[in-house]
Structure 1
Amino acid sequence: MLDQARIRLLYYGLLLVFVALGIILTNVLVEDQVVLATVAGFMLLSMLILFKYLTWCADWKSVTHALIAIGTLVNIIDVFVVIQKVDIIAIQLVLIITIFSFYTVGQKWGLIYSILNLLPVIVFMLYGYKNMYIIDFVPEKVDQSTIIICVIANFVLLLFIHNHFYKTYLSNIKQLKQTSEEQSNLNYTLETAIDKAEKSSQAKSEFLSTMSHEIRTPLNAVIGMTNLLIMSNPRPDQTENLEILKFSASNLLAIVNDVLDFNKIESGKIVFENIRFNLVELMNSICGGQSIKAHEKGLDFKLLVDDVLQNKVIIGDPTRITQVIFNLVSNAIKFTKQGCITVRVALFEDRHDRVTIHFSVKDTGIGIEPDSLDAIFEPFTQESVTTTRQYGGTGLGLAIVKRLLELKGVKMQVNSQPGQGSEFSFNMEFLVSTEVPVESSVKLQPTTQQDNDLSHLKILIAEDNVVNTMLMKKLFSKWKIQTSFAENGERAVEQVQYGNFDVILMDLQMPIMNGFEAATEIRKLMDTKKANTPIIALTASALTEIREKVFQSGMNDYISKPFKPEELREKLISMTTEKAV
Structure 2
Amino acid sequence: MKIINRIRQFTDGILNKDEDPINRARFHILFYSMVATLAITLILLVAYIVNGPPLQLWRLSIVLAAIFTSLYFLVVRNNYKPAAHIIVWMLNMLVWTNIFLLIQALNIVTIQYIILTITCSFYMLSSRHGMVYSIIVMIPVVIHFILQGTNNIQVFVTPQQASNPVFLSVLLFNFSLIIFIHYHFLKAFHDALNKLRTAQTHEKSLNERLVVAIKDAEASSKAKSDFLSTMSHELRTPLNSVIGLSYVLLADNPRKEQEENLKVLHFSAGSLLSLINDILDFNKLEYGKLELEKIGFKPDELITDICAGLKLQAEEKGLEFTMNLDDRLSGTTLIGDSTRLLQILFNLVGNAVKFTSKGQVVLTVEVITEREELLELKFSVRDTGIGISDKHLNVIFEPFSQASSNINREFGGTGLGLAITKQLLELHGTTMSIESVFGRGTTFSFNITYQRANASQVDELSTRASVSASTIDLSELSILVAEDNAMNILLIKKLFQSWGISADYVVNGGEAVEMAKTKSYDVILMDIHMPIMDGYEASREILKGYNSRNKKPWIIALTASVSNDINVKVTEAGLNDFISKPFNPRELKARLSALSNLKVISNAEDVTK
Residue 152 of structure 1: CA displacement?
A: 1.5
Contact 2:106–2:152 (CA under 8 A) maintained in structure 1: no
Select 1:211's aligned residue among 231, 238, 246: 231
Which piece of structure 1 moves more, 156-165 or 448-457? 448-457
Q: Residue deviations 1:233-265, cap 9 Å, x none? A: 322332222222111111111111111111121
The farther-off stretch of 420-429 and 237-246 is: 420-429
* C-alpha distance in structure 2 between counterparts of 1:170 and 1:129, whole Å: 43
Which residue is equivalent to 1:202? Answer: 222
Secondary structure of 1:569's aligned partner: helix
Answer yes or no: is the 8 Å Cα contact 1:346–1:357 preserved in 2.
Answer: yes
Matched-pair contact (CA < 8 Å) for 1:335–1:365: yes
Deviation at 1:221, TM superposition (A): 0.7
- 2:525 equivalent among 488, 499, 505: 505
**Maintained 8 Å contact 1:86/1:125:** no
- CA distance 1:355–1:8, shift in 2 (3 Å): farther
With 160-169 and 141-150 compared, the bigger mean Cα shift is at 141-150
Q: Using the alignment, how far apart are the partners of 1:313 and 1:496 within structure 2?
A: 37
Cα deviation for residue 347 of structure 1 reads 4.2
* Residue 454, structure 1, aligned to residue 474, structure 2: yes
Does residue 317 of the first structure (1) align with residue 317 of the second (2)?
no
- Counterparts in 2 of 1:571 and 1:430: CA distance versus 1, 3 Å: closer
TM-superposed CA distance for 1:78, in Å, is 0.7
Residue 550 (1) aligns with residue 567 (2): no
1:402 corresponds, among 422, 434, 453, to 422
Which residue among 383, 396, 401 is the counterpart of 1:376? 396
Question: Distance in 1 between the 2:100 and 2:318 partners?
Answer: 109
Instruction: Decide which of 332, 337, 354 is 2:352's aligned counterpart.
Output: 332
Report the CA distance between 1:283 and its aligned residue.
Answer: 2.5
Q: Structure 2 CA distance, aligned partners of 1:572 and 1:558?
A: 12
Task: Report whether the alignment pairs 1:484 with 2:514.
Answer: no
Contact 1:83-1:141 at 8 Å conserved across structures: no
After TM superposition, the structure 1 = structure 2 runs for residues 148-547 of structure 1, keeping only pairs within 5 Å, are 148-274=168-294, 277-310=297-330, 315-348=335-368, 354=374, 356-430=376-450, 447=467, 452-525=472-545, 532-547=552-567
SS at match of 1:416: strand
Q: CA deviation at 1:481?
A: 3.0
Does residue 572 (structure 1) correspond to residue 592 (structure 2)? The answer is yes
Which residue does the alignment assign to 1:18?
A: 38
**Bigger shift: 500-509 or 232-241?**
232-241
Structure 1: distance between partners of 2:369 and 2:470? 48
What is the CA distance between 1:82 and its match in structure 2?
A: 1.9
Deviations 1:75-129 (A, max 9, x none): 1221233223322212221221111111111112112222332454355356544
The C-alpha deviation readout for 1:44-88, integer Å capped at 9, x for no partner, is 232223333544544432332232122113212212332233222
Please tell me whether the aligned partners of residues 522 and 530 of structure 1 are also in contact (alpha carbons under 8 angstroms): no
Cα gap change, 1:490/1:529 in structure 2, threshold over 3 Å: closer, same or farther? farther
The worse-fitting range, judged by mean Cα deviation, of 199-208 and 405-414 is 405-414
Larger mean CA deviation between 123-132 and 63-72 belongs to: 123-132
2:64 counterpart SS class: helix
- The count of corresponding residues between Structure 1 and Structure 2 is 568
| Cα distance in structure 1, aligned partners of 2:466 and 2:30 | 98
Preserved CA contact (<8 Å) 1:500 1:530: no
**Matching residue of 1:438:** none
AA at the equivalent of 1:503: V
Equivalent AA in structure 1 for residue 229 of structure 2: S
Instruction: Please give the alpha-carbon distance, in whole angstroms, between the structure 1 residues aligned to 2:260 and 2:491.
Output: 21
Cα deviation, residue 219, structure 1: 0.6
Name the TM-score, length of structure 2 as normaliser: 0.85
1:425 aligned counterpart, secondary structure: strand
Spell out, residue by residue over 1:126-178, the C-alpha distance to the aligned partner (whole angstroms, 9 max, x if none).
65445599xxxxxx989621221011111221232123223322321232122
Q: State the Cα distance separating 1:309 from its structure 2 match.
A: 4.8
1:196 deviates by 1.5
Asked if structure 2 preserves the Cα contact closer than 8 Å seen for 1:290 and 1:329, the reply is: yes
Match of 1:439 in 2: none
Which residue pairs with 1:98 in the alignment? 118
Query: Whole-Å Cα distance in 2 between the matches of residues 452 and 432 of structure 1?
Result: 30
Closer, same or farther: CA 575–529 of 1 in aligned 2, 3 Å: farther
- 1:560 corresponds to which of 542, 565, 580: 580
Query: SS state of the match for residue 66, structure 1?
Result: helix
List aligned pairs for 1:7-156, cutoff 5 A: 7-118=27-138, 120-121=140-141, 124-125=144-145, 128-129=148-149, 131=151, 144-156=164-176
In 2, are the aligned partners of 1:220 and 1:562 still within 8 Å (CA)?
Answer: yes
Cα distance 1:329–1:91, how it changes in 2: closer, same or farther (>3 A)? Answer: same
**Structure 1 8/429 Cα, relative in aligned 2: closer, same or farther at 3 Å?**
farther
1-side partners of 2:168 and 2:465: how far apart?
121
How large is the Cα RMSD of the aligned pairs?
A: 3.1
State the secondary structure of the residue aligned to 1:562. coil
Q: Would you say the 8 A contact 1:503–1:576 is kept in 2?
A: no
Deviates more, 1:410-419 or 1:328-337: 410-419
Q: Is the 8 A contact 1:488 1:510 kept in 2?
A: yes
Q: TM-score, normalised by structure 1?
A: 0.89
What SS is found at the alignment partner of 1:79? helix
Aligned with 2:565: secondary structure?
Answer: helix
C-alpha spacing 1:524/1:29, structure 2 compared with 1 (3 Å): farther
- Is the 1:358–1:427 Cα contact (8 Å) retained in structure 2? yes
Which shows bigger deviation, 238-247 or 42-51?
Answer: 42-51
Can you list the C-alpha shifts for 1:277-297, whole angstroms capped at 9, x where unaligned?
Answer: 554443322212211221122
CA distance in 1, matches of 2:167, 2:152: 26
2:8 alignment partner in structure 1: none
Q: Tell me, yes or no, if the aligned pair for 1:540 and 1:562 is still in contact at 8 Å.
A: yes
Partner SS for 1:447 = coil
Q: Which runs of 5+ in 2 are unaligned?
A: 1-19, 154-159, 456-462, 603-609
Unmatched runs of 5 consecutive residues or more in structure 1? 134-139, 436-442
**Contact conserved, 1:16 with 1:157, CA < 8 A, in 2?**
no
Equivalent AA in structure 2 for residue 509 of structure 1: H
- Name the structure 2 match of 1:440: none
Deviation of 1:218 (Å):
0.3
Aligned residue for 2:126, secondary structure, equals helix
Distance in 1 separating the partners of 2:373 and 2:571: 33
1:459·1:503 contact (CA, 8 Å) conserved in 2?
Answer: yes
**Conserved 8 A contact 2:94-2:113:** no
> Aligned pair in 2 of structure 1 residues 472, 263: CA closer, same or farther (>3 Å)?
same
Query: Residues 28 and 146 of structure 1 are in contact (CA less than 8 Å); yes or no, is this contact kept in structure 2?
Result: no
For each residue in 1:493-551, what CA deviation from the matched residue of structure 2 results, as whole angstroms up to 9, or x when unmatched?
23223333222111111223221222222233366677932211001123431122111
